[in-house]
Amino acid sequence: MKRILSACTMAFALAWAAPGLQAQTAPPAPAVAAATAQQFQLANGMTLIVKQDRRAPTAVHMVWLRVGSMDEVDGTSGVAHAVEHMMFKGTEQLKPGEFSRRVAAIGGSENAFTSYDYTGYYQQIPAGRLEEVMRLEADRFAHNRWADEEFTRELAVIKEERRMRTDDAPRARLYEALYAMTYQAAPYRRPIIGWMGDLDSLTADDVRQFYRQWYVPANAAVVIVGDVDVAQVRAQAERIYGAIPAAAVPGRKPREEPAQRGIRRLELKAPAEQSYLAMAFKVPKLTTLEASDDALALTVLSAVLDGYPGARLERALTQGPDRLADSAGASNGLMGRGPQLFVLDGVPAPGKTTEQLEAALREQVARVAREGVSAAELARVKTQWVAGQVYKRDSLFNQARELGSQWATGFAPDLSDRLIERLRQVTAEQVQAVAARYFGDDQLNVAVLRPQPVDPAARKKAPAGARQDPTTEPSR
């Protein structure tokens, strides 16, 4: 299963497109066009982003922190995610769990997520109850309080989450090991949920210190999308969020990844029914739209390989009696606060090996490097990108999440529209050039899952009533 990474990928954008959309088909316009997002800065340094969309009397309210697992230090991995959990455990005014009960009482839903790059909290609510939710969120942002016993109980929940999502999930374990091998200095080498040894020694004061250090207005953005009046929301935000005292954002040390000099490989033996292969190539990321031609071309390349039904990898590797793979995929990390990867992955067909699949996947990229891509392929992936952006606007949540993630990674609210225009300018020659430039041995990290017998009695299920935490993790 593919999950969202901290980076945006072409596959992620295409997930909103209509299945089987043809290149010549123009996407329909929304019934009522959403307004352009507007960004403001409050006096205490907090950012406010508001986008009006009047199609339904609802709103999405989000608070984003430009802090994630990449801001942790060794020995406290998992602390950013632990803070996210503890933000539901009360304030000076609210008892543990009361925040969620109050949101539910007004007909809303809510949750939170942690990634390498950021942490986010959100509520989907009737638009008329927005101010109530703003007050609740501002209260826990500034006044999160809980007893040590609450942390002890929640830490047990986090450990069980790690067991279920990583320790008992072979592909998640594989990607955890792959990231730890791929990154030598970059903080993406640590898992978002934390190493179990670090969780064992994590203390309540570790979590409180991380919260006090990073949960400051200048490191946060409020994102609101829906049936709202921009001027009214701005006034409410100044009154509610603007009252939080200003504080300096801690300095961040650069942790540059050293150049890789040769293939790195690992194998993981785990109970599984099929082998699995993941190949991660280090590639450039989007820095500015004016200076990221290769990152954009790599994004288009990933879509040529695996961006629509019947794309190159599916046609070449997963069809016919002599097929090499049950599945094959490609994705490119376009955006993020840290270094990014281009990933090729797949499951060998019965009787085939991961070594054969690795050679075949690399050959598909090499073929693009030799022969280029056709005008029809290029037109199709670009049209589907545009379609994905249009269909995405049917969801207030997706609009808000895009605005928040763009802010967290250092981009302006108009990035999506500008990105579409830049992607339209990517040429077949640029796609061919990046296929030749970034897929050599020195950029490659390979992880192979070697299946072991599965014990049916060992399968676990989520405990009844557990909060479904959509923590972003590097698994596929």
Domains in the chain, please, with CATH?
30-240 (3.30.830.10), 264-456 (3.30.830.10)
- 84 given a catalytic annotation: yes
Spot the catalytic one: 72, 84, 161, 176: 84
* CA torsion through residues 187, 193, 197, 202, sign: positive
Q: What angle do CA 147, 149, 153 make, to 5 degrees?
A: 125
Phi and psi angles of residue 263, each rounded to the nearest 5 degrees, phi first:
-65, 140
The residues with which 144 forms a beta bridge, in sequence order, are 91
Q: Are 250 and 73 in contact (CB under 8 A)?
A: no
Quote the pLDDT of residue 33. 52
Quote the pLDDT of residue 47. 98
- Tell me how far apart the alpha carbons of residues 366 and 314 are, in angstroms, rounded to a whole number: 16
- Binned average pLDDT, 10 residues per bin, the chain of 476 residues: 33 30 38 77 98 95 98 97 98 95 96 98 97 98 97 98 96 98 97 98 98 98 97 98 97 92 97 96 92 92 94 95 96 96 98 98 98 94 83 88 96 91 93 97 97 75 49 46
The residues with which 221 forms a beta bridge, in sequence order, are 47, 64
Quote the pLDDT of residue 417. 86
pTM of the model: 0.89
- Cα 423 to Cα 296, 297, 378, distances in angstroms: 6, 8, 10
* CA torsion through residues 77, 62, 101, 165, sign: negative
Cα atoms found within 13 Å of the Cα of residue 33, Cβ hemisphere only:
5
Q: What is the DSSP letter of 225?
A: E
Tell me: the pLDDT tens digits for 334-344? 999 999 999 99
Beta-carbon contacts of residue 281 (< 8 Å; ≥ 6 apart): 341, 342, 343, 344, 438, 439, 443, 444, 445
Q: Are 353 and 425 in contact (CB under 8 A)?
A: no
Quote the pLDDT of residue 7. 32
Beta-carbon contacts of residue 105 (< 8 Å; ≥ 6 apart): none
Q: Are 119 and 112 in contact (CB under 8 A)?
A: yes
**First-to-final CA distance of the chain:** 5
In degrees to the nearest 10, what's the CA dihedral of 119, 123, 127, 132? -90
